[in-house]
Amino acid sequence: MNLKTIFIITLFLLLTVGIFSIHSDQTFTGKLTNIQYKNKLIIVNIENQKTDFIIFTDKLLGIKTNDNLEISGKEDTYKNNKQIIINKITKIN
């Protein structure tokens, strides 16, 4: 392999890893401090996190204040505010 081929392959791999890392889920754990049920939208806040956690559903989640949660989701921005769009929310002990 020549140097040009190695450079192109390396550049392709770096771009691929960068794209996948941007769109990968993040996981957060903490105590539920606030939950707001709105029309087909639920906003969850957990201890020591300034970010809102959003889930688009009109169903009750079966969680309450002081529950310990594990939340996974993707970072998003809405009206210049960072938020996490929840993919999975689990109550933990």
Give the model's pLDDT for residue 4.
84
Which residue ranges make up each domain of the chain?
26-92
Q: Which amino acid is at 3?
A: L
What HEC string does 33-90 produce?
EEEEEECCEEEEEECCCCCEEEECCCCCCCCCCCCEEEEEEEEEEECCEEEEEEEEEE
Give domain 26-92's CATH architecture: Beta Barrel (2.40)
**36-61, pLDDT tens digit by residue?**
999 899 999 999 888 899 999 888 88
6-38 pLDDT per residue, tens: 888 888 887 776 666 555 788 899 999 999 999
- Per-residue pLDDT at 15: 76
Q: What is the pLDDT of residue 2?
A: 83
pLDDT category at 76 given cuts 50, 70, 90 is confident
What is the mean predicted confidence (pLDDT) over 55-81?
89
